């Protein structure tokens, strides 16, 4: 691997680590699917080949609108 | 670049690939078992002790409420009644407003719809304590109802699923059913304080003021 290839690989890894961080933040905030910023969107940025191949079944995210006791 | 650095880079790429796959597994609801987030995490670090607690998934969640249940607001205001004979109309009006079936409904409308003076009047209040006139009004609004003389436990169980109106024979008073509060019934009472009852009806009060005729939405 040349120095230029090494630099490109490190840059790519840094970008992917940042996308993974953003995906973790999106999950923590309950933004699992849909347009960015969602975990789904960051996943496709990490691996574009996954687009259209997943059968999504994300966790239920409470929206706070349900009346307690109902 | 030394072989050592190249090996470390390759290892990093593999780890990131596993993390990406774990993310894809989570999005597809595969949290544990083969081809899951758990499996990816074990590959990333075989010595990590995991105690998975997978979340409730959209595919497992109960269906959202339909019809009036989707718009029901049990906290809907119940202003005190002005006349001493209109409790059945006030509680009918409350149910129609609280369910969102007729959000701008009025008590005057309710009296007229129940049928003044043949079905409700200043002398007797609601004429038929089985609530047949109330059920007819609900039907006019497209609401299916049932009616029965129920025990406290039956009303309590039903109040967690539906709303409606009820009248105690000894109480001689109609109220609407908001839901439950702990082991008590939570009611919408247009005569707060009447015979010592405000917005909570306890088992003991129910026994003292009954028997109760209940008109409930199906």
Residue pLDDT tens, chain B, 218 long = 677 888 888 889 999 999 999 999 999 999 999 999 999 999 998 998 888 888 999 999 888 778 999 999 999 999 999 999 999 999 999 999 999 999 999 999 999 999 999 999 999 999 998 999 999 999 999 999 999 999 999 999 999 999 999 999 999 999 999 999 999 999 999 999 999 999 999 999 999 999 999 999 99
Please tell me the distance in Å from A56's CA to the nearest CA on chain B: 4
By three-state DSSP, how is residue B67 classified?
helix
Using CB atoms and an 8 Å cut-off, which of residues 39-58 of chain B contact chain A? 55-58
- The shortest CB-CB distance from A43 to any of B9, B23, B57 is to B23
The answer, for A32 touching chain B at a CB cutoff of 8 Å, is yes
> At the topology level of CATH, where does B67-217 sit?
Cathepsin B; Chain A (3.90.70)
Residue of A nearest to B8 (CA): A10
Query: What are the structural domain ranges in chain A?
Result: 9-47
Chain A residue numbers touching B5 (CB-CB < 8 A): 6
- The shortest CB-CB distance from A39 to any of B13, B23, B160 is to B23
The answer, for A67 touching chain B at a CB cutoff of 8 Å, is yes
Where b means 16+ CB within 10 Å and e means fewer, B71-107 reads: ebebebebeebeeeebbbbbbbbbbbbbbebbeebeb
Give Dmax over CA atoms of chain A in angstroms.
64
Q: What is the ipTM of this complex?
A: 0.80
CA dist B113 and B201 (Å) reads 28
Terminal alpha carbon distance of chain A:
63
Q: Which residues pair with B150 in a beta bridge?
A: B212
pTM: 0.61
């Amino acid at each position: 691997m040349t120095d230029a290839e090494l630099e490109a690989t490190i840059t790519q890894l840094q970008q992917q680590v940042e996308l993974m961080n953003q995906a973790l933040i999106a999950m923590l905030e309950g933004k699992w699917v849909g347009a960015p910023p969602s975990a789904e969107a960051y996943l496709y940025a990490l691996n574009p080949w996954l687009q259209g191949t997943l059968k999504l079944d994300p966790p239920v995210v409470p929206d706070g609108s349900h009346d307690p006791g109902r | 670049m030394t072989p050592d650095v190249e090996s470390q880079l390759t290892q990093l790429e593999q780890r990131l690939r596993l993390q990406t796959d774990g993310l894809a597994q989570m999005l597809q609801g595969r949290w544990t078992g083969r081809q899951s987030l758990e499996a990816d995490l074990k590959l990333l670090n075989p010595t990590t002790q995991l105690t998975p607690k997978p979340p409730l998934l959209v595919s497992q969640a109960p269906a959202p409420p339909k019809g009036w249940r989707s718009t029901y607001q049990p906290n809907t205001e119940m202003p005190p009644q002005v006349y001493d004979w209109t409790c059945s109309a006030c509680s009918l009006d409350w149910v129609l407003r609280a369910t969102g079936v007729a959000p701008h409904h009025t008590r005057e409308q309710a009296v007229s719809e129940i049928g003044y003076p043949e079905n409700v009047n200043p002398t007797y209040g609601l004429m038929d304590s089985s609530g047949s006139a109330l059920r007819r009004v609900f039907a006019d609004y497209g609401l299916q109802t049932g009616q029965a003389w129920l025990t406290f436990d039956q009303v309590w169980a039903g109040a967690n699923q539906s709303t409606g109106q009820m009248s105690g024979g000894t109480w001689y008073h109609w109220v609407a059913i908001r839901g439950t509060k702990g082991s008590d019934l939570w009611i919408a009472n247009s005569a707060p304080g009447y015979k010592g009852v405000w917005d909570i009806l306890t088992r003991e009060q129910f026994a003292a003021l009954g028997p109760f005729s209940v008109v409930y939405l199906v």
